[in-house]
Structure 1
Amino acid sequence: MNKTYKTYGIILLVVVILMTIVQLNKKEVIDWSKNFSTTEKSPFGLFVFNEEGRDLLNQKLIKINQSPYSFYNQNHPKKAHNILLIEKNLDKVSWEKILQEVKKGSDVMILSEDFPDELEKKLNFKLSDYNYDETSYLYFTDDKIAEDSIVVDKVQAWGIFTNFDFKNSEILGTEYYEKEYDNDYESAANFLKVNYGKGHVYLHAEPLILTNYYLLKKENQKYIQGVFSYLPNRETYWFQESETESSQSPLRFIWANPPLRNAWLIFLFSVFIFILFNAKRRQRIVPIIEPLKNKSVEFIRSIGNLYMQEGDFHDMMAKKSHYFLSRVRTELLIDTHNLDEEFEKKLHLKTGKSPEKIKEAVVLIKKSLNPSAHVINEDLIKLNKVLNEILK
């Protein structure tokens, strides 16, 4: 091993040791971002719900890895069913498909911090943002389950329902929160039931209740069970297609683990540095080699000029004829010993040229092969043209 490779190896070893020390002394940082991902074990992921959701819905939860528009175009459920959406951004046609199913008797439960404008207009409600204390208390309005509650204390809750149609809607849950500038508490609707056709739309403005952090607390389980108790005991389709689309990367396991990710980046950086320095030290000037020139055309032009200067048109015609007859023998497999009518007929059949053209060519060939025939420049031009037309 030469000195250069030893230097590279020592540098790489030092970097790896330093990164190992940093990783061992590094305190684990908890990711509190709201990702709502079924594969994330962070506090605000949906990993636990993805694993335990069937128990909450009486083993009748069906996960759909398609958009509602694609699913309902390919499938036509005959029975009424439940639909579950958790913090989903759907296109307009998917919302229309869902509302069509609700109109026929299905129920949909939507847990989201935001709702599309077209849904608010069709169901006649408004979700308003507010800015109050971080801690909120969620209760049911039904006296039977009024004691079941949940405390949202890690992040600020975002929305409450306002301006909804009281005749066609029912408040199922409220949120108590402390005012910003005094110690008084106010309440507002955060869980609605809206009648639509033969079915119902359940709107919950706090999807965090289904994340890992809140679902793992035993004191919250009754409230979450109470939310799903409003859905009829039947099949529930949970649309979560974005999770399957985002997990197709072959490096997803490496990127999901910070130590592996750092090791992968160090490896790539080291390979890049090695290639960069190695290429600079070893690359030599590549000599420019001129390609050989094809001088066949120049040679033919020189020979042609020589014949033209000598004025030996007869010899040029004879060579052209011999070349033509040689091609007829090898390519068309026609005997050229006798240039008679039988020859003309065979040449006509195999080339498809007119009998007149064949006849003219044969006359010129015989003239060129006759040593005593008088040949002029025009005969050479005519012969060249006719033979080229026959065997293109």
Structure 2
Amino acid sequence: MKPIYKVFTSLSLGIICLFSSCEEKANEVEEVIDATHAIQTEKHLIKVDTLYTEFKNPWGMTWLDDGTMLVTERSGEILLFKDDQFTGEKVSGLPDFYVKGQVGLMDITVHPNFSDNGWIYISYGKPMQDSLGATAIMRFRLEGNQATNQEELIVTAPPWETGRHYGSRIVFDNDNYLYFSNGERGNKPENAQDLTNSHGKIHRIHDDGRIPNDNPFVGMEGAVSSIWTYGNRNPQGMVYDSENDRIWESEHGPMGGDEVNLIEKGKNYGWPVITYGQNYDGTPITDITEKEGMEQPVTYYVPSIATCGMTLVTSDRYPEWKGDLLIGALAKMHINRVDLEGTDAMGQEIMFQDIGRVRDVEQSPDGYLYALTEGTGLMVKFLPVN
């Protein structure tokens, strides 16, 4: 059965005036969404507005102060959108990327003080010697559609030959520290427990790439000083809760055992010593799911849904989802809503089944929710029906 979302293209927003004189009450209007083909979730009636249909492997999205939206393609492109429409322009002047398997140009976000400094940040695969690659973070400014003032901030080590498990999401906290995720590379899961390499970890740096002195493993002999947490298999989702100063992360398990974690300083999240998953051939990875000194996930998925990009709903546009996590599912092709109460997961809801392989879910500055899909190649916007 083909996804039904392809027919929801160019859905219009109707603007009506609620008063007798539109001229006098121009600012007092309400958006009215046509409910035709709307989807009833457990808590909201949602119209899915398809904005773009020609992506191949979209990865991340962010917004500039003027409303311009930037969307990354794993192949190395950044597309520019204005008023939810593709402008036909792409960012030029970017470096070469290591594009192999799951890696290429990945996440993108703007500095919290973007209006003052103009910095845009990307995570990507950096080509290294001998056809190897590494997860790297760079920042640049945008002049027109030209990437200028490019600064490489950090490169993970050691470089690796596989194109698997590179992460990688970027978030900033309230103090402008930058956190990024990096996978354990797949063919050597024990990397995640080894503090002498960068892989299978969440990292924390200053916005200019310097290492904070209060990182948990600074000063430990042989340890990579940027490490914030370890034991993380392949974290492709991360979001910062600014109101409560906490970071949520989603990571791929093997066959079963995808996790949603609350990321906290210096903690060990267990991979591959503990897991709720098993090898892809059905053999066990380990015979334990818990161990002292290792964190339990807030929730996990058996079978795997292939968790990816995620957002925390803070918008008043979706009052019944407020405070919940929305997580993209690649393999199961839906959006998974995790009903949160504080830091406890009270339940889950599968929404928008068969929309495509959901690579990212984000909330825009004006409070709307967007998603990017692979396979169906879509960018969609979720419009709550009043």
Which TM-score bucket, shorter chain as reference?
under 0.3
Calculate the TM-score normalised by the size of structure 1. 0.20
Greater strand proportion = 2
Which has the higher Rg, Structure 1 or Structure 2?
Answer: 1
Structure with more contact order per residue of length (Cα contacts < 8 Å, sep ≥ 6): 1
